[in-house]
Copies of this chain bind each other. A is one copy, B any other.
Amino acid sequence: MLSDVMEDYLKSIYALQQEDGGPVATSAIAEYLEVTSPTVTSMVEKLEDRGLVEREKYKGVELTQEGETVALEVLRHHRLLESYLTEHLDYSWSEVHEEADTLEHHISEEFERRVAEVLDDPTVDPHGDPIPSADLTPPEDDTTTPLSDHDAGDLLVVSRVSDRDEEELRYLADAGIAPGTRLEVADVAPFGMVTVRFADDGERDQSLPENVARSIRVRPADDDSDPDSDSESDGGDGEGNSEEIEA
């Protein structure tokens, strides 16, 4: 019933809402989806007609309950697909995003169920993002923090990496930074450049530009009661080649 374009709008609004809390600006959606503002305005009107968003002219837009449910469904598809492709079709976690971004709109409910079943109902995808549950109830609030918010000396575990930029993902894979990687902030330099040291390889330092550090979500290293401590067992043997990342 909903077009895949509409699903993409809902997904974007959901993501932007998570980032900033409040209502989402037309221009923010436009930038996220790489379309013009007038295009967003007209699409948002249609979403409003269908009861998927609430909107105040010139102000911004928010998902309704129903809109959020749709966004969560698409997100569930996306993350189940990323997990499936990684575990069963030999994709590395830096490759899966584009494939999932297309397929998420085209799999049936049945397909979703069967994939979830063979994966044994996973709760986190290969990038560390939480997979919405089958009943599409809104997930817990995110307690992770951006790596860029931390100071020298902080001991951290990588919780999630963004899945939206292929190039960045390859960079991180090469650097050996993945969900579960334990590290210490060695230094924070001007322009937000963050240097980290690997807990299991004291020799190696890695410097990350601010924008990359901002997209890496972390939690304190001692917090092992965290709900998504699931696949926290990456060897991180100093090679970082995506090939060895495999449950």
Contact = CB atoms under 8 A, between A and B. Distances in A.
Contact of A106 (B95, B106, B114): B106
Number of copies: 2
Interface string A105-142: 11110110011011000000000000000000000000
Contact of A90 (B89, B108, B114): B114
Contacts of A115: 89
A206 interface: no
Nearest to A118: B89
A118 B107 CA distance: 20
Nearest to A89: B114
A33 interface: no
Interface in A206-238: none
Interface string A85-107: 10011110001001100110111
A114 B102 contact: no
**Size category, A interface:** 20 to 34
Contacts of A102: 106, 108
A114 B118 CA distance: 18
B88 A111 contact: no
A89 B105 CA distance: 19
A173 to B, nearest CB: 17
A111 B100 CA distance: 11
A110 to B, nearest CB: 7
Nearest to A104: B106
A114 B102 CA distance: 17
Interface string A149-192: 00000000000000000000000000000000000000000000
Interface of A: 85, 88-91, 95, 98-99, 102-103, 105-108, 110-111, 114-115, 117-118
Given A89-B114, A103-B103, 11 more contacts: A88-B118, A89-B111, A89-B115, A90-B114, A90-B118, A91-B114, A95-B110, A98-B108, A99-B110, A102-B108, A103-B107
